[in-house]
């Protein structure tokens, strides 16, 4: 039986699995590791808080996501292909281990995020 994304623990586990896929991806990993030069421990904490806010209504995340991605986009243009790969890995991680209303809400939110970012970034 698959878990839903209805608790912080499940969301944290999902994010760790998703980022393991992202950081193993030959196209996306360099964006995160070389261009953005993320500190993985710090980044994952922010991302976990972000998804807990979106799915559970927690208030821990207070950053401006679009501004962060505009800065990244200025260093290395994020393409349609980048967003498609990100969504593909997100959905593959969901499909492998998660099911339920919160997982489906996360799927809808992820697609909306990718669409908004793609449309909101210059070029």
Q: 69 a known binding residue?
A: yes
Measured distance CA(68)–CA(28) in Å, rounded: 17
Q: 43 a known binding residue?
A: no
Q: What is the DSSP letter of 3?
A: B
Distances (CA, A) of 64 to 29, 35, 111: 22, 19, 18
| One-character DSSP codes across 4-27 | PS-SHHHHHHHHHHHHHHHHH-TT
53's CB contacts (< 8 A; 6+ apart) are 59, 60, 61
> Contact 35/76 with Cβ under 8 angstroms?
yes
Q: Which residues are annotated as a binding site for heme?
A: 46, 69
Q: Which residues are annotated as a binding site?
A: 46, 69
């Amino acid at each position: 039986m698959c878990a839903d994304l209805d608790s912080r623990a499940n969301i944290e586990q999902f994010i760790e699995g998703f980022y393991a896929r992202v950081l193993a991806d030959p196209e996306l990993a360099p964006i995160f590791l070389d261009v953005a030069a993320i500190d993985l421990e710090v980044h994952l904490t922010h991302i976990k808080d972000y998804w807990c806010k979106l799915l559970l209504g927690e208030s821990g995340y207070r950053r401006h996501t679009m501004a962060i991605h505009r800065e990244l986009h200025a260093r290395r243009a994020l393409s349609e292909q980048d967003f498609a790969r990100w969504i593909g890995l997100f959905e593959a991680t969901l499909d492998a281990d998660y099911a339920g209303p919160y997982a489906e809400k996360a799927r809808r939110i992820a697609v909306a995020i990718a669409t908004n970012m793609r449309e909101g970034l210059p070029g």
